[in-house]
Amino acid sequence: MISGLKPATVELRGLVKRFGKDVYAVDDVDLHIARGELLTLLGPSGCGKTTALRLIAGLERPTAGQILLDDEDVARLPAYLRDVTMVFQSYALFPHMNVFENVAYGLRVARRPKDEIGTRVEEALAMVGLEGLAHRTPSQLSGGQQQRVALARALVIRPRVLLFDEPLSNLDAKLRKRVREDIRELQQRLGITSVYVTHDQEEALAISDRVVVMREGVVEQIGSPHELYTRPASRFVADFIGSANFLPGRYDGQQIDLLGYRWTHEQDVAAGPVTVMVRPEAVEFARDDEPALEATLMSSAYLGAATEYVFDVAGTELFATMSGGGMSAAEKGDRVRLRLKPTAVSLLPPD
């Protein structure tokens, strides 16, 4: 266990990073990260996640704005004075040092006494479960082990904030799931403030306290995984996190009207025309006696655990995923009646 951690809060105020004349990699970002929180920056490639992370790290200098660690502006402070550290996508383990030396690096740089270095490195290696491997070189480790060395190396210097830049993208799919759980477990156990960059929405939802969805340098939405999924603030977010159908409808403050199919819905949206966001798993076949949405079955694909359908709803395609067989009797071209689970539906401003 790493002792003596003093996690900090992080606040970004009007942060801007411009490359060259007109590339705004980060464009006026405001963000507050609580002590001990794991916040994920999520977004498509090139949206500025890495740049934002590197700004917090001090590896890039902001064009404008403030970066506050525990209310103190560090935006102009060089990286090595910031008490912030980072786990790199490539792990960046020093190839000419063995595992012990890699982990000890930060302590040696800080000129800690030898026996302190010894015990702290042991501690850190034990924490990530690599006790026996201290004398291997990085090239003799598997990807997952390298990743854990990188983590131990970052934690051993007791940073106030820990940054991750797509730490799992070099691992194969199965390992990725396990390592992300390990990271989350360790992060919660240590209570260390963390910022985590990924473009994998599933990963983001699985490990974060809160997720920031970014788009072209701007924050689209901030919220808990649940909020983002159930109440996306924009089409972009709805599309990026999970998949979604968008149908035109009306809202009167209490009920949604979707082509005559009406149900009660509570959301802070102005009455009038709206875009109804429907998750694929919200769609079910309706019983004959209940109100329903009229649709035509266009195609279906049986995937074992679930079946995927494409319906035509008044000229708009509607994708649906139903667990099990759904109503296997329906055939292509049949008229069907559909019901929407209210929990997986949300309203967006009209197009």
Partner 1 sequence: MDASSTPNALRPRRPAAGLAVSGAWLPAALAIVGWWALPIGRPNRPFLTLEPDLYAASIGHPLLWLTLFAAVAALALSFLPVPTARRADMVLAVGVVALASVVAWFMISTTPFGMGALLVLAGLVMLLGNALSESGRVQGDAFIASSILFVSLFVLLFILYPLFTVLRSSIYIDGRFDFSVFLRTMQHPLFFMLGNDRSAVDEVALTLRWSLAGLIGFATFALWRRVRWTAVLARAVLGGALGFVLGALIYGNGALPTSLLLVSIVAPTATLLGLAFALLGQRGRLGAVRRSLDVISILPIITPPFVLAFAMIFLLGRRGLVTYNLLDMQSSWIFGIPGVALAQILAFTPIAYLLLRGSLSSLNPALEEAAQTLGAGPWVTLRTITWPLVRPGLAAAFLLSMIESLADFGNPIILGGNRKYMATEVYLSLTGRFNPNEAAVYGAVLLLMVLGAFFLQRWWLGGGSFVTVTGKPTSGALASIPRGLEVGLTVVLFVWTVFVAALYLSIVVGSFAQLWGVNYTFTLRHYQDFFAGAGWEVFLFTARVAAISAVPAMLLGFLVAYLVARQRFFGRRFVEFGSLLSFATPGTVMGVAYIFAFNTGPVLLTASATIIVIALVFRNMPVAIRAAVAGLAQIDPSLEEASTMLRARSLTTMRRVLFPLLINTLVTGLIFAFVTAMTAVSQVIFLVSPGNQFATVLLLGWVDQGQLGRAAAMGTILIVSLLLVIVVVLQLARMLGARMVGVRT
Sites of contact with ligand ATP (CB under 6 A) = 19-20, 23, 25, 43, 45-51, 199
Residue 113 binds to partner 1 (criterion: CB under 8 A): no
> In sequence order, what are the residues at sequence separation of 6 or more whose Cβ sits closer than 8 angstroms to the Cβ of residue 32?
9, 10, 11, 12
Question: DSSP strand E in 155-313: where?
Answer: 161-165, 193-198, 210-215, 218-223, 245-251, 255-258, 261-264, 272-278, 283-285, 293-302, 306-313
Pick the binder of partner 1 from 28, 83, 182, 294 (CB under 8 A). Answer: 83
Residue 225 binding target from Mg ion, ligand ATP, partner 1, none, CB below 5 to 8 Å by type: none
Residue 61 binding target from ligand ATP, Mg ion, partner 1, none, CB below 5 to 8 Å by type: partner 1
Binding mask 139-158 for partner 1 (x = CB under 8 A): -----------x--xx--x-
Query: Taking CA 190 as the corner, what is the angle to CA 229 and CA 140, rounded to the nearest 5 degrees?
Result: 95
Pick the binder of partner 1 from 110, 303, 305, 329 (CB under 8 A). Answer: 110
Give SS3 for 95: coil
> In sequence order, what are the residues at sequence separation of 6 or more whose Cβ sits closer than 8 angstroms to the Cβ of residue 211?
39, 40, 42, 204, 205, 222, 223, 224, 225, 228, 241
48: left (phi over 0), alpha (psi -120 to 50) or beta: left
Question: Minimum distance between the CB of residue 16 and partner 1, rounded to whole angstroms?
Answer: 14
Residue 51 binding target from partner 1, Mg ion, ligand ATP, none, CB below 5 to 8 Å by type: ligand ATP
Question: Minimum distance between the CB of residue 167 and partner 1, rounded to whole angstroms?
Answer: 12
Contact assessment for residue 186 and residue 147, using Cβ atoms and an 8 Å cutoff: no
Pick the binder of partner 1 from 30, 64, 72, 301 (CB under 8 A). Answer: 72
Pick the binder of partner 1 from 75, 152, 282, 336 (CB under 8 A). Answer: 75
Residue 46 binding target from Mg ion, ligand ATP, partner 1, none, CB below 5 to 8 Å by type: ligand ATP
Question: Minimum distance between the CB of residue 57 and partner 1, rounded to whole angstroms?
Answer: 6
Residue 109 binds to partner 1 (criterion: CB under 8 A): yes
> In sequence order, what are the residues at sequence separation of 6 or more whose Cβ sits closer than 8 angstroms to the Cβ of residue 277?
232, 235, 238, 244, 245, 246, 345, 346, 347, 348
Provide the binding-site residues for partner 1, judged by CB under 8 A. 57-61, 69-86, 88-90, 92-96, 98, 105-106, 109-110, 137, 150, 153-154, 157
